[in-house]
């Protein structure tokens, strides 16, 4: 079991530690609901050092990424970030990821912690088609980088104290290389997995402790607090953000998952599964990932059956929880055609009872 450079800080703060993706990670400190609300209303800090980072560089970097990812990497400019996925050649998804463009021939891929080895092997397998050499043009830097995600409406205001760079005016899905908290060459990005605003801060492992202390000192006036993986999951679900292993996996296509917006069918882009996914886009799919809210009282969970008013099976829940902000059960599910329209009545089978729910647009939670 690996530790991150912040593990001792989590333990000092009284975190309940659990194994996650091969790492010893904090699931909660004071309670998931309390931490969730803190991020929505103030500012919270997540240790996301378990995420994977791959550098891709060289004259063939763009061609390689255009082939291996679903989104159009050529649309990026220096300092721009893109959400994308790796199609798996069978209509499914190897992983979802972020692509950071540093220059026309240098990119950083940020992948899910649980999939680092799988993603690395997938990249290596396809790299040889483009003369990309692992260890030279393709580098796995996952064990060398520490990352904090500082999220919440006051996150950027608090972090501005630690740099002269104008971070509060940065646009969504952009990044900069800045000096931050006295640390040079920090990757500072605005992406987020909570819908509450904020930033991600990437540093070398040796700079991790200095970063942690500076971040918490800067956020004191906003009652900054560490947040566990439990609240990270409830926050992302309120926004309808996919979690790999729950809502998307090797058997779900990006079209089915509602990720057509990151699947670009341009003439200049030939990518894995292009023909298959284009066919799905043009002809439609038999199921689609949709958000829902419970009308009857109940908490939906992954793998619960979804049925119609007559008890006929029409889908399966992929993620579910009790929303700390809405005080209602919420979730996402793959639903059969005919049940996709917002307002459609569906039923979640919970402990042998069919409880009424309603299909909704994403995000599920809309801040008042």
Q: How confident is the model at residue 196 (pLDDT cuts 50, 70, 90)?
A: very high
Query: What does the alpha-carbon distance between residue 163 and residue 32 come to, in Å, rounded to a whole number?
Result: 31
Query: What does the alpha-carbon distance between residue 224 and residue 156 come to, in Å, rounded to a whole number?
Result: 12
What is 123-182 written as a DSSP string?
HHHHHGGGT--BTTTEEE-GGGEEEEEEESTTHHHHHGGG-SS-GGGPPTTEEEEEEETT
- The CA-to-CA distance between both ends of the chain, in Å, stands at 41
CB neighbour list of residue 42: distance below 8 Å, 6 or more residues apart: 152, 153, 154, 222, 223, 224, 225
Please write the tens of the pLDDT for every residue from 202-244.
999 999 999 999 999 999 999 999 999 999 999 999 999 999 9
Secondary structure tally for the chain: helices H, strands E? 8, 19
For the 286-368 domain, the top CATH level (class) is mainly beta
**Does the pLDDT of residue 62 top 80, yes or no?**
yes
- Does the reported pTM lie above 0.75? yes
Q: Does domain 1-285 have CATH number 3.30.1360.120?
A: yes
- By the 8 A CB rule, do 210 and 12 touch? no
**Does the pLDDT of residue 367 top 90, yes or no?**
no
Give the residue among 272, 315, 261, 263 at the shortest CA–CA distance from 290: 315
Please write the tens of the pLDDT for every residue from 3-53.
999 999 999 999 999 999 999 999 999 999 999 999 999 999 999 999 999
How much is the mean pLDDT over the chain?
Answer: 98
Query: What does the alpha-carbon distance between residue 181 and residue 189 come to, in Å, rounded to a whole number?
Result: 15
User: Where are the alpha helices (H) located in 185-273, listed in sequence order?
Assistant: 208-218, 229-239
Tell me the three state secondary structure of residue 11. helix
CB neighbour list of residue 52: distance below 8 Å, 6 or more residues apart: 109, 110, 111, 112, 113, 115, 116, 119, 120, 140, 142
Q: What six digits make up the tokens of 124?
A: 């290596």
Query: What does the alpha-carbon distance between residue 168 and residue 190 come to, in Å, rounded to a whole number?
Result: 10
**Partners of 189 in the beta sheet?**
175, 200
CA count, 13 A, side-chain hemisphere, 179: 3
**Does the pLDDT of residue 185 top 80, yes or no?**
yes
Cis geometry, peptide bond prior to residue 363 (ω within 30 degrees of 0): yes
Domain boundaries, the chain: 1-285, 286-368
Query: What does the alpha-carbon distance between residue 39 and residue 195 come to, in Å, rounded to a whole number?
Result: 10
Query: What does the alpha-carbon distance between residue 336 and residue 308 come to, in Å, rounded to a whole number?
Result: 10
């Amino acid at each position: 079991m690996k530790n991150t450079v912040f593990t001792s800080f989590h333990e000092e703060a009284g975190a309940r530690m659990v194994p996650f993706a091969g790492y010893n990670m904090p699931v909660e400190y004071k309670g998931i609901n309390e931490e969730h609300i803190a991020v929505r209303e103030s500012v919270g800090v997540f240790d996301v050092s378990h995420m994977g980072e791959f550098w891709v560089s060289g004259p063939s970097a763009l061609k390689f990424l255009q082939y291996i990812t679903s989104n159009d990497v050529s649309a990026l400019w220096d300092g721009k970030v893109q959400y994308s996925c790796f199609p798996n050649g069978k209509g499914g998804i190897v992983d979802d990821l972020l692509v950071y463009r540093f220059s026309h021939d240098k990119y950083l891929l940020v992948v899910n912690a649980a999939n680092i080895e799988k993603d690395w092997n997938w990249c290596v397998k396809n790299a040889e088609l483009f003369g990309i050499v692992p260890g030279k043009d393709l580098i796995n830097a996952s064990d060398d980088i520490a990352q904090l995600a500082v999220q919440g409406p006051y996150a950027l205001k608090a972090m501005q104290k630690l740099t002269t760079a104008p971070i509060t005016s940065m646009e969504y899905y952009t990044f900069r290389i800045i000096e931050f908290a006295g640390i040079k060459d920090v990757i500072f990005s605005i992406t987020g997995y909570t819908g509450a605003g904020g930033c991600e801060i990437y540093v070398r492992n040796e700079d991790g402790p200095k970063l942690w202390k500076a971040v918490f000192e800067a956020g004191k006036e906003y009652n900054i607090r560490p947040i566990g993986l439990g609240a990270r999951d409830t926050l992302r679900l309120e926004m309808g953000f996919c979690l790999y292993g729950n809502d998307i996996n090797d058997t779900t296509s990006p079209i089915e998952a509602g990720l057509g917006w990151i699947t670009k069918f341009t003439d200049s882009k030939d990518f894995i599964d292009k023909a298959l996914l284009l066919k799905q886009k043009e002809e439609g799919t038999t199921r689609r990932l949709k958000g829902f809210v419970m009308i009857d009282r109940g908490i939906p969970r992954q793998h619960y059956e979804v049925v119609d008013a007559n008890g006929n099976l029409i889908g399966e829940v992929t993620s579910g929880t009790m929303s700390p902000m809405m005080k209602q059960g919420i979730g996402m599910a793959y639903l059969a055609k005919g049940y996709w329209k917002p307002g459609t009545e569906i039923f979640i089978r919970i402990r042998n009872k069919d409880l009424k729910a309603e299909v909704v647009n994403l995000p599920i939670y809309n801040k008042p």
